[in-house]
Structure formats: structure tokens, C-alpha cells
Structure 1
Amino acid sequence: MKTIILIASFFIVLTSNAQQAYEKGMGKAFELWGNQKNDEAANLFERIGRAEKDNWLPFYYAAQIHIIKTFNTKDAEEIESRLKKAQNYLNEAKTFSKDNAEILILEAMLNTAYVVYDGTKYGMTHSPKVEELYQRAKKIEPENPRATLYHAEWQMGAAKFWGKDPKAFCPEIEKAILYFEKESNTTPFYPDWGKDQIKRIQQNCE
């Protein structure tokens, strides 16, 4: 009986130490990202993901860093490189978490980045992917605020391109606001971003 208790205690300590190491590492990666050390943060997220082996979140954030970075650069080679890295990270994340709305949303943003980067080259092939990914995410989580908000932004952009009124999608932004208010996640480091972009996207409604 004592042996069983000792073994159980040993595994509890190991699990606790591993969790502490994970939380410390993730905190450091977010700190690097917050200090604009994007590549260092992405590399750290990747290392955490390799160490965790069954956690999609580190790979998710590594991908997100590269996707966001492409919107702020005009260097074609860098954009292509970052988007390929991001897709690889998302593929890693999907091996640990299938039918995950957050991963689908980020993959929709990745495909959006391709269209923004070179609409002539990628518009016809990647635009349908964006729409499909948002629809899948909303089917899995109908009240996901990021899926609702960024799908609305995508639809507004498409409406402008085809000479239609983007304001038709403004009610979706109002829905997203409500979903953000209702959102409650207990998993450490679970995605909760996007609320700070509402005003920017709402400019299409003015």
C-alpha cells in the first residue's frame, strides 16, 4: 500500500513540475511576442510544442505570429516563407486537436493573408478556402466570437470587391460583440483575442 502511495505521489510531483514548466515557457513566449521579438517567440512556442507532444496551443501561437507578421511586410520571399511555416505549424496543431474551431479560424486567416499578399495569384484558389473554413468553424462553435467577427470582415471585403454594400454584414459584428461578452474559457492560454479589433472592423459600418 505504501509503495502504491509513493508511486502515485511521484507521478503527481512530475505532473505538477511539467505543468509549471509549461506555464513558465508559455508565459515567456508571450512576453517575447509582446516585446516584438516575433521570431524568438515563435521558435519558443515551437520548442514547447515539441516538448509537450500532445498540446495544440504552442503550435497554434507559433502559426499566428507568422500569419500576423505577413500583414506588416512587403517582402514577397518573407511572406511566402512565413505562411509556409504557419501552415506547417497548423498541420502540427491539427494532429492533436481535430475539428477545432480556433485552428480553423486561424487557417482562414492564413488563406486570407495569401489573398491580401497576391490576389491575382491566390484569389481564385484561396478565397473559397477562407469561406469554407469560417463556415466549418461556425458550425462547430456557432457563438465563437472570432469566427463571427473575422468572417464578417472577410465578407465585407468581398462585398467591396464586387461593388456591394459591406454594411449588410454589420449585424454580424454586433453578434460578435455579444459572443465576446459571453466568452468564458478555463483552459490556460486558450485563445481569447480579437475584441480589440472590433472598432477597426466597424469602420466599414460608418
Structure 2
Amino acid sequence: MKTLALLITFFTLSLINSQTPSSYEKGMSKAFELWKDKKPNEAIHLFERIAKVEKENWLPYYYAAQVHIFTTFRLKEAEAIESRLKKAQEYLNKVNTITNNNAEVLIMEAMLNTAYVSYNPSVYGMTLSAKIEQLYQDAKVLEPKNPRATLNHAQWKMGSAKFFGKDPKAFCPEIEKAILYFENESHDMPFYPHWGKEQLSSIQENCRKE
């Protein structure tokens, strides 16, 4: 009976511990909340603090870079944009010391370069366009059904087509592929990237326009 009681106690404690969020999970959740609450700098600082503890985990630095990159699309001041993009590159450099041949990282690097082009197309359009294309191609080789690679690559090609006076709707079938890939996406790793799906409705609407 004593042995049985000990086993039950051990099982109960193990179950409780498995259901209790770790400090990592709490920290990451808090960082995402800060970003959602339009506090990007606070979110970045928290992601960075987590990264310094979780030394073998590429996700905290990845998200710190993502916040910087995505924030620039709403900025107009050149100094602020360049500062954030340089910092994002530093974070991605750290990510690349932790993980190799990672499609998600390649996609984020493509987004970083896209942010440069968006910020100053006359300077960066010609120099970075080929690099962006190659990053998406490499990501799709690693993960042919990665929804973010498919979606963002299609968006990049749509933007390029529009810039050169071509029909961006030629790439709408790629958006449909991305939708299917999002529906089938599944990852066991906590906080694994799953962003992008929220963009689909507006892109689909543009594809339906005459």
C-alpha cells in the first residue's frame, strides 16, 4: 500500500508539473502580449532576456528580429527604420548560430530584405531583389509546403509584378496553395512560427477583384 501511495503521489506531482507553464512559456506568452498591446520595444527586450537564458532555443531571437522587422513597415523616419533593421539582422545572425537550414529563418531574412526594399526601393530594389527571390526559393526547397514561404513569396512576386506593370493576379493560385498549407500545418514545438494566416482574407479579396 505504501508503494502504491508513493506511486500515486509521484504520478500526481508529475501531472501537475506537466500542466504548469514553465518560466519560458510564461515569458514568451508575456512577450507576445506586449507585442499585441503595441509595445514592441518591451516585447523585444523580453524576447532578448529569454534568449540569453534559453541559449539553445532559436525562437526568442527569431521573434525579437520579427518584431523589429514588422514594426518598420509602419514607420517613416529613416533613422528609426535603419536602426531596427540593423538590430533585426544582429538577432538573425544569432539565430543562425543556433539553427541551420531552417526555412523559417530564411523566410524572416527575406522579410528583412523586403523591409529594406519597401523603405527605399530606389536604393535597395535592384540590389536585394535577387537575394529575396533566392531566400524564398531556398526556404521552399527545405519545406515545399511551408505556408509562410508560399504566401510571402507570392506577395513578393505580386508586388514586383505591379511595379513592372504586370498583372499580379497571375500569382493568386499560389495564395490558394498557401491556404491549403496553413490548414494542414502542425508543429509540436511550443511557439513555433504560425503567423501569416491573418493576411489571407485581404489578399483573397484583391484576387477576386475584376
Whether TM-score is above 0.5 comes out as yes
Deviation at 1:126, TM superposition (A): 1.1
Question: Aligned equivalents of 1:160 and 1:143: distance in 2?
Answer: 25
Deviation at 1:201, TM superposition (A): 2.2
Q: Is the 1:105–1:134 contact (alpha carbons within 8 Å) kept by the matching residues of 2?
A: yes
Equivalence for 1:7? none
TM-score for both structures, normalised by structure 2: 0.88
Helix, strand or coil at the partner of 1:74: coil
Equivalence for 2:180? 178
Matched, 1:188 2:166: no
Question: Aligned equivalents of 2:22 and 2:197: distance in 1?
Answer: 29
The equivalent position to 2:30 in structure 1, one of 28, 40, 44, is 28
Helix, strand or coil at the partner of 1:69: helix
Give the residue type in structure 2 aligned to 1:73.
L
- Residues 1-206 of structure 1 aligned to structure 2 (within 5 Å): 20-205=22-207, 206=209
Question: Aligned equivalents of 1:21 and 1:167: distance in 2?
Answer: 46
Give the residue type in structure 1 aligned to 2:85.
L
Question: Aligned equivalents of 1:135 and 1:79: distance in 2?
Answer: 26
Equivalence for 1:3? none
Give the residue type in structure 1 aligned to 2:186.
S
Moved more, 122-131 or 110-119: 122-131
Which blocks of at least 5 consecutive residues in structure 2 are unaligned? Answer: 1-13
> Deviations 1:52-87 (Å, cap 9, x if unpaired)?
111100000000000010000100000000000001
Question: Aligned equivalents of 2:175 and 2:197: distance in 1?
Answer: 11
Give the residue type in structure 1 aligned to 2:173.
P
Deviation at 1:202, TM superposition (A): 2.6
Give the residue type in structure 2 aligned to 1:110.
L
Number of equivalences: 192
What RMSD, in angstroms, separates the aligned Cα atoms of the two structures?
A: 1.7
Larger Rg: 2
TM-score for both structures, normalised by structure 1: 0.89
Which blocks of at least 5 consecutive residues in structure 1 are unaligned? Answer: 1-11
Helix, strand or coil at the partner of 1:60: helix
Deviation at 1:163, TM superposition (A): 1.4
Question: Aligned equivalents of 1:92 and 1:148: distance in 2?
Answer: 25
